[in-house]
Every structure is written in C-alpha cells, then in structure tokens.
Amino acid sequence: MPAYVDVKGISEDGKRFIEYVLSLGFDFFEFVEEPLYAEYLKSHPSGVTARYHFIEMITEGGHGIDRPMTDGEIVSTHTEMKPSQVTELRQLYQKSKNRRPFKQNLETTIVPIPALIITGARTFADDFSLYFKTTRPLKTFISKIPIGSSGGMIDSSQTETNVRRALTSVGRSTSKFVGTGTPPAGVVGDLWLNTGKGKLFMFMTDGSTSGTTTAWVEV
C-alpha cells in the first residue's frame, strides 16, 4: 500500500483520514482538467475552476441552494450556458466519475471508490487536495486519438473534432512521465522517458494471478 508522507499544513484529523485511505490501497493523482467545462461555464467564482464549480453545483449545491442543483437552476444562475451544454457537462462528469468523482481534479488508481472515501474527501477537502496534489503532482498527458491525418488533404472539421476528443478524453492510461527520477506510481501502459539515461520505459505486469508483479521495463 502507498506509504503516508508528511505534508506541511495537513490537520491531524485529515492525516488520519488520508492514512486510512492509503491503508485501503487507494491513491489519487492530479490530472489535467477537461477544457469543455471552461468553454461552457465562464462565470464561475474566482479562485476555483469551471470544472470545480460545475461539479460542486451538481453534487452538493451552490448559490444558496443546499442540494444538487437542477439544470434550470444552473442555467438561470449562469445565463451564458444553454440547457444542452449543462446536459453535455453532466454526461462528461458521469463518464469519468468512477475515477474522478471529486470537484478537485484528482483521480484514483482503483475503482470503485467506497462511499466512505468520497464522503471523507469532501469533509476533509482542503487536507485531501493539499496532500495528493503535493505528493502526486500533475502529470503530462498524451492522447491515443490522432489529431490530424497523415498524407493527403487534412479535413479541418475532422481535425477540430479530433482535437476536442483528445482534450476531453485524457486519462492515466495514456499518461507519460519525463525526468530522471522513477515515477512515484504507475498504471499498466504508462510510459516514462528517463532523460538521464536516454531510455524509454513502460509500466508492465507479468499477468500472474498470485502476487502480480509490476515494474518499469525498458522498451
């Protein structure tokens, strides 16, 4: 299981909760937010992102409403949004909420996430976010979806579609690490470019059913 690392600013109660989360084998990583939230929701409060505010509205409430907000309530509060855009963002959240259930841009390596962890993460939101964003900082993501075509004429409309899909479907299964230090954790299929040795590694498993072994393997 991941070991707890002391992080300045974590409360004692928050520390105990995070130690409990880690003891269950769960770990969380910061990810690049899907840009569609910011494209549609522009009047979010300062100090938080569009994704943070939208997910807060649909899971907890906001604007004086102490429950998840309806589409109509969101549109009446954020008049720049169309009902279809609210629906699209809800679908985007539903698509990834098994790994990214929080308003903070943190995702898990294991699913499903127990309800107790989700509730605790909201209760100790500041500690939870500070800890994992400090110990598991933002990674660089690449997409497996082609941006344009190779050879022949490039269809600009198709390129725009592929760009949008690439930006809104990033995940840890397509992440890469660049640097001299061994990445703190990996998911099978992740790539690591060791700039010190000039070698490329892939995180792989031997596929055994008892005591599965995973390691960074040179490719």
pTM beyond 0.85: no
For 206, the token pair is 């031997």
User: 148-184, pLDDT tens digit by residue?
Assistant: 333 444 444 554 454 444 334 444 444 567 777 787 6
More confident residue, 205 or 33: 33
Task: Tell me the three state secondary structure of residue 90.
Answer: helix
d(CA 68, CA 213) in angstroms, rounded, equals 43
The mean pLDDT of 83-112, rounded to a whole number, is 93
Q: What pLDDT is recorded for position 192?
A: 81
Percent of the chain with pLDDT over 90: 54
Q: Tell me the sheet residues that pair with 65.
A: 62
Determine the pLDDT at residue 52.
Answer: 97
How does pLDDT run across 66-80, given as a tens digit for each residue? Answer: 999 999 999 999 999
108 alpha-carbon distance from chain centroid = 8
CA atoms lying within 13 Å on the CB side of residue 118: 14
Q: Are 26 and 101 in contact (CB under 8 A)?
A: no
Rounded to an integer, what distance in angstroms lies between the CA atom of residue 7 and that of residue 128? 11
pLDDT of residue 157: 53
> What region, left, alpha or beta, does residue 56 occupy, with left being phi > 0 and alpha being psi -120 to 50 degrees?
alpha
Residue 208: pLDDT band with limits 50, 70, 90: very low
pLDDT in tens, 14-56: 999 999 999 999 999 988 899 999 999 999 999 999 999 999 9
Once rounded to an integer, what is the mean pLDDT over residues 142-151?
38
pLDDT at 212 over 60: no
Contact call for residues 18 and 128 (beta carbons, < 8 A)? yes
Measured in whole angstroms, how far is the alpha carbon of residue 28 from the centre of its chain? 8
* pLDDT range class, residue 185, cuts 50, 70, 90: low
- What is the percent of the chain with per-residue pLDDT over 70, rounded to a whole number? 76
Structure confidence at residue 145 (pLDDT): 38
Would you state the pLDDT for residue 180? 78
Mean pLDDT over each residue of the chain, to the nearest integer: 81
